[in-house]
């Protein structure tokens, strides 16, 4: 019998650009499906047709003059649609939803990185997500040097995907990293820090161990 009949679960993956969270999310999803779970994967910004339209605006390098408040509200608009269309229905069906980034990205990138503060992020989250927060968040942590190194080599491989975000300064990313760190300290029961250095398999084993530890405590 499928174990998803227990209850729906909402898992998110977070971290600096290039931390490997996208690969790790895919691996965990594949692994859990092989165990008989029903897993829905989504991504922020995006995840729905409306969200993908918003994503194009957000990541368009021509939109350099976008103000930080407009940027934050657009991230939340995409997320609200994701909650409405994807997250709530799937969790209600008892499925596992995994998201590549969620409100913690807004906390780290806009709240800390752009200096908008974390209170406003919390308030907007309550509206956009209707009070639903992730059950577990895997913060795949790499240091800033590693993030920049990976982002640079990724940009070389995919020159056409030269996003606005990849142009941000080092100071910005330092603040983003500090934001994730503060979050992990503030919510140790939800945010699990995963060491993102090592091979893909090594990191995947850490993620799976953290997932199983959560599951065994929340049957």
**Least distance from C-beta 215 to ligand TYD, angstroms?**
25
**Least distance from C-beta 110 to ligand TYD, angstroms?**
6
Q: Pick between residue 162 and residue 202 the one whose CB is nearest to ligand TYD.
A: 162
- Taking CB atoms, the residue at the shortest distance from ligand TYD is 109
**Least distance from C-beta 60 to ligand TYD, angstroms?**
12
**Least distance from C-beta 75 to ligand TYD, angstroms?**
4
**Least distance from C-beta 42 to ligand TYD, angstroms?**
11
Reference 187, options 117, 118, 128; nearest CA is 118
Range 31-68 burial, b when 16+ CB lie within 10 A, else e = ebeeeebbbbbbbbbbbbebbeebbebbbeeeeeeeee
Residue with token string 């269309």: 85
Q: Pick between residue 200 and residue 213 the one whose CB is nearest to ligand TYD.
A: 200
Q: Pick between residue 109 and residue 211 the one whose CB is nearest to ligand TYD.
A: 109
Residues that bind ligand TYD (CB under 6 A): 17, 22, 44-45, 59, 75, 101, 105-106, 109-110, 163, 165
Q: Is 72 helix (H, G, I), strand (E, B) or coil?
A: helix
Residue with token string 């577990």: 136
Query: DSSP assignment of 141-208, as one string?
Result: E--HHHHHHHHHHHHHHTGGG--SGGG--HHHHHHHHHHHHHHHHH-TTTEEEEE--S-HHHHHHHHH
Q: Pick between residue 29 and residue 59 the one whose CB is nearest to ligand TYD.
A: 59
Q: Pick between residue 4 and residue 16 the one whose CB is nearest to ligand TYD.
A: 16
């Amino acid at each position: 019998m499928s174990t998803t009949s227990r209850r729906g679960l909402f898992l998110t993956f977070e971290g600096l650009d290039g931390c490997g969270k996208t690969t790790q999310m895919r691996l965990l999803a594949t692994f859990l499906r092989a165990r008989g779970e029903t897993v829905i994967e989504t991504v922020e910004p995006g995840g729905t047709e409306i969200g993908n339209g918003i994503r194009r605006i957000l990541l368009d390098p021509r939109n350099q003059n976008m103000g930080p408040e407009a940027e934050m509200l657009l991230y939340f608009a995409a997320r609200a649609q994701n909650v409405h269309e994807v997250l709530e229905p799937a969790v209600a069906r008892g499925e596992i939803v995994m998201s590549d980034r969620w409100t913690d990205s807004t906390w780290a990138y806009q709240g800390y990185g752009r200096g908008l503060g974390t209170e406003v992020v919390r308030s907007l989250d309550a509206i956009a997500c209707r009070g639903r927060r992730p059950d577990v968040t895997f913060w795949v942590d790499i240091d800033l040097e590693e993030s920049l190194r990976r982002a640079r080599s990724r940009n070389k491989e995919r020159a056409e995907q030269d996003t606005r975000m990849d142009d941000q300064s080092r100071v910005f990313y330092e603040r983003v990293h500090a934001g994730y760190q503060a979050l992990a300290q503030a919510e140790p029961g939800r945010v699990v820090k995963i060491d993102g250095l090592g091979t893909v398999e090594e990191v995947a084993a850490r993620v799976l161990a953290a997932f199983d530890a959560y599951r065994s405590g929340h049957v």
